[in-house]
């Protein structure tokens, strides 16, 4: 006799519940108990979960029915979703594949000077530029140059797209309180979901061989900071400055491009810095779904218990993270100094 039998009888729900099905599937606890030759021990006062209530009333669905219903619903919607999302996201695959090809096919003696020049142009700092050069050479010495360039190409594409999409969304949020109230819960959801959860629906929608699978996951994970900080930066612009711009007869577009964005640039740059770091973090996890780069070696070290392979790849990721962080922060410092002078 199940614990909640009396409850349904008391409320006169026995007819609605119907007869107990003798061929109902066994719970995992019952199955394990049967295989071990013991009876499953019941709790004195079990929580009224769907499974426990279903034991007394067969009309109540079980937990497995909920998970199966979600899966069936997603699979039913999959063809329509795929027809809509495939054309929209296909350019992302082309961009990722193109960037991987470009970074891989460019000889190191051309790519390294280009990366060093970009570091100098962005930071205008000799220590940072020298550190970038030494780090890349160290990665090359341990034969990790190619995989490091793969990781860097993915970060370049995903960060660029995150910024191109995130900054306009942040600007729109700063101009509309209603839009901000609508978008903030979505950003909270994206920021609190475990990183592996991003991959589950994408694996069902796209083939593991498609680059956009991991590209979408990285962008969804990394786009949040640049949206939030763009919105915050524009909202923090001094109201007196806005009133002065209005007094000069500026249009809303002139005020945005000539006053608000320049003053909000330090916050936007801070958001870009965080987006770069989050892209790198997600690239490692995305190696589980065929993302190339240093994450593949980390995954190999875990799967095959190859300590040295995992540690060297991990150090390579740390070096890349420090390079990206130092260069972007040096660029942010330059923006701050320019902002203070003006």
Span 75-119, pLDDT tens digits = 899 899 889 999 999 999 999 999 999 999 999 999 999 999 999
What does the pLDDT average to over 19-43?
A: 55
Mean of the per-residue pLDDT values of the chain: 86
The answer to which of 18-32, 208-222, 326-340 has the lowest mean pLDDT is: 18-32
DSSP codes of every residue in 326-342: HHHHHHHHHHHHHHHH-
Higher pLDDT, 83 or 195: 83
Over residues 36-48, the mean pLDDT reads 63
- Domain 78-341 part of CATH 1.10.3720.10: yes
Q: Where are the domains of the chain?
A: 5-61, 78-341
Per-residue pLDDT at 233: 93
Q: What is the pLDDT of residues 256-288, one digit of tens each?
A: 988 899 889 889 988 999 999 999 989 888 888
Residue 65 has a pLDDT of: 87
Residue-level pLDDT at 274: 93
pLDDT at 117: 94
* pLDDT score recorded for residue 288: 85
pLDDT of residue 135: 94
Q: Is residue 31 predicted with pLDDT exceeding 70?
A: no
Annotate 112-169 with DSSP letters as a single string.
HHHHHHHHHHHH--HHHHHHHHHHHHHHHHTT-HHHHHHHHHHHHHHHHHHHHHHHHH
pLDDT > 70 in the chain, percent: 88
Can you read off the two tokens belonging to residue 280? 């790198």
> Residue 249: what are its φ and ψ, rounded to 5°?
80, 25
Q: Is 126 exposed, middle or buried (0-12, 13-18, 19+ CB in 10 A)?
A: exposed
151 touches 320 (CB < 8 A):
yes
Q: Which of 58-67, 134-143, 149-158, 220-229 has the lowest mean pLDDT?
A: 58-67
Mean pLDDT of 155-164: 94
Task: Say if residue 147's pLDDT is above 70.
Answer: yes
Q: For position 168, what pLDDT does the model report?
A: 95
Residue 301 confidence (pLDDT) above 80 = yes
How far, rounded to the nearest angstrom, does the alpha carbon of residue 218 sit from its chain's CA centroid?
5
Cβ atoms 183, 169 nearer than 8 A: yes
pLDDT for the residue 222: 93
Number of helices (H) and strands (E) in the chain: give both, helices first: 16, 0
Q: How far apart are CA 112 and CA 97, in angstroms?
A: 20
Distance (Å, whole) CA 283 – CA 297: 12
- Arithmetic mean of pLDDT, 190-210: 84
Task: Check residues 51 and 96 and name the one with the higher pLDDT.
Answer: 96
pLDDT at position 44 is 67
């Amino acid at each position: 006799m199940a614990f909640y039998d009396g409850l349904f009888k008391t409320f006169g729900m026995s007819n609605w519940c119907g007869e107990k099905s003798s061929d109902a599937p066994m719970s995992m606890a019952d199955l394990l108990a049967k295989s071990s030759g013991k009876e499953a021990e019941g709790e004195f006062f079990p929580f009224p979960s769907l499974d426990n209530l279903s034991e007394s009333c067969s009309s109540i669905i079980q937990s497995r029915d909920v998970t199966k219903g979600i899966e069936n619903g997603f699979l039913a919607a999959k063809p329509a979703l795929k027809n809509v999302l495939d054309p929209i996201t296909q350019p992302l695959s082309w961009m990722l594949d193109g960037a991987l090809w470009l970074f891989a096919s460019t000889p190191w003696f051309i790519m390294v000077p280009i990366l060093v020049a970009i570091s100098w142009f962005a930071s205008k700092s000799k220590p940072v530029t020298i550190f970038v050069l030494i780090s890349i050479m160290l990665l090359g010495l341990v034969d990790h140059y190619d995989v490091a360039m793969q990781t860097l190409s993915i970060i370049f594409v995903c960060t660029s797209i995150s910024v191109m999409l995130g900054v306009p969304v942040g600007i729109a949020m700063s101009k509309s309180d209603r839009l901000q109230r609508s978008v903030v819960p979505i950003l909270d959801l994206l920021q609190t979901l475990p990183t592996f959860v991003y991959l589950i629906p994408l694996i069902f929608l796209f083939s593991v061989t498609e680059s956009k699978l991991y590209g979408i996951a990285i962008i969804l994970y990394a786009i949040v900071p640049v949206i939030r900080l763009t919105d915050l930066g524009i909202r923090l612009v001094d109201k007196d400055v806005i009133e002065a711009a209005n007094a000069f007869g500026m249009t809303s577009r002139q005020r945005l491009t000539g006053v608000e964005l320049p003053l909000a640039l330090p916050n936007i740059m801070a958001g870009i810095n965080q987006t770069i770091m989050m892209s790198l973090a997600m690239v490692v996890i995305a190696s589980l779904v065929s993302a190339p780069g240093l994450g593949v070696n980390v995954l190999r070290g875990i799967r095959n218990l190859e300590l040295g392979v995992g540690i060297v790849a991990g150090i390579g990721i740390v070096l890349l993270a420090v390079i990206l962080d130092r260069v972007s922060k040096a660029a942010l410092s330059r923006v701050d100094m320019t902002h203070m002078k003006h």
